[in-house]
Amino acid sequence: MPLAVARISKETERLYGVLEQKLSERPYVAGEYSIADMAIYPWVLQHDKQGMMLDGYPNVAAWLERISRRPAVVRAYAKGEQIRPSGQTDQDRKKLYGLP
């Protein structure tokens, strides 16, 4: 198991590095705000759960902040919070999805 965790951690760092490089050249992944940003944002938003600190990725951090301020993103996450509150516990999720 430690080998698998190390491999996934290294790949996560590599992907953040690729994103950092791209964002050093432009404000959004494809230049203008696009579906690419919409797809990547939720993944990067959970960087702390991935064990990633954004200190070494200043362009990623700035991009994350830019997207999080977009009115449509604010509305979408507020709507999502109404549907599935982030305060749910693991037990709540297990009940909701019929997990053991």
Q: What is the DSSP string of 81-93?
A: HHHS-TT--HHHH
CATH 1.10.533.10 fits 2-69, yes or no: no
Residue-wise pLDDT tens digits, 89-98: 677 767 776 7
Residue with tokens 């491999």: 7
For residue 31, pLDDT over 70 is answered with yes
> What is the pTM for the complete model shown?
0.81
pLDDT at 88 over 80: no
Q: Taking the domains of the chain in order of start, what are their residue ranges? A: 2-69
Q: Which residue has the tokens 């507020």?
A: 78
Determine the residue type at 98.
Answer: G
Rounded to whole angstroms, the Cα distance separating 4 from 74 reads 35
Span 35-63, average pLDDT? 96
Q: What's the pLDDT tens digit per position in 70-79?
A: 999 999 999 9
